[in-house]
Amino acid sequence: MHSPHRPGLRALARRRRADALASEPLAAAIQYYKNHRDALFRFVDDPLVPIDNSPTEREFQNVAKLRLNMLFAGSTEGAHRACVLLGIIATCRALGVPAQAYLTWAFERLGTHRDVFALPLEALTPAAFKKTLG
């Protein structure tokens, strides 16, 4: 799905950029549009991408704060692993998936039963787990 307004907006930006002084806020806005054009329309092309990313940003603020608080967490690797785990838990929360059930499910398929399941990593995400719940 493509926006019918995209070509018109591009042409308008091109015309107005020629008229705007570099110091004007309009010139900065047009430059921002040019630099981020694809990302600005991504939600139009993919209906699964929300127009507003604020909930995701808020969720991962906790991870960023924890990363800062874990500067002296014993090791950089340990702090990184903790942040990865918190990211997984945040993803589970966003999908409405019980994190403990997901981790149990994933570890069973990654651990001693790896040969039995033989799943690629893409099949072990919280979203994949949610599909198994029905």
Extents of the domains making up the chain: 6-45, 54-133
Q: Determine the pLDDT at residue 100.
A: 96
Q: Is the pLDDT of residue 128 over 90?
A: yes
CA 2 to CA 46: how far, in whole Å?
9
Residues 6 or more apart in contact with residue 58 via CB below 8 angstroms: none
Most confident of 48-57, 58-67, 73-82, 86-95: 86-95
Q: Determine the pLDDT at residue 99.
A: 96
pLDDT per residue as tens digits for the range 8-53: 777 887 777 777 777 788 888 888 888 888 887 787 778 787 888 8
Q: Is the pLDDT of residue 3 over 70?
A: no
Q: Is the pLDDT of residue 77 over 90?
A: no
Residues 6 or more apart in contact with residue 28 via CB below 8 angstroms: none
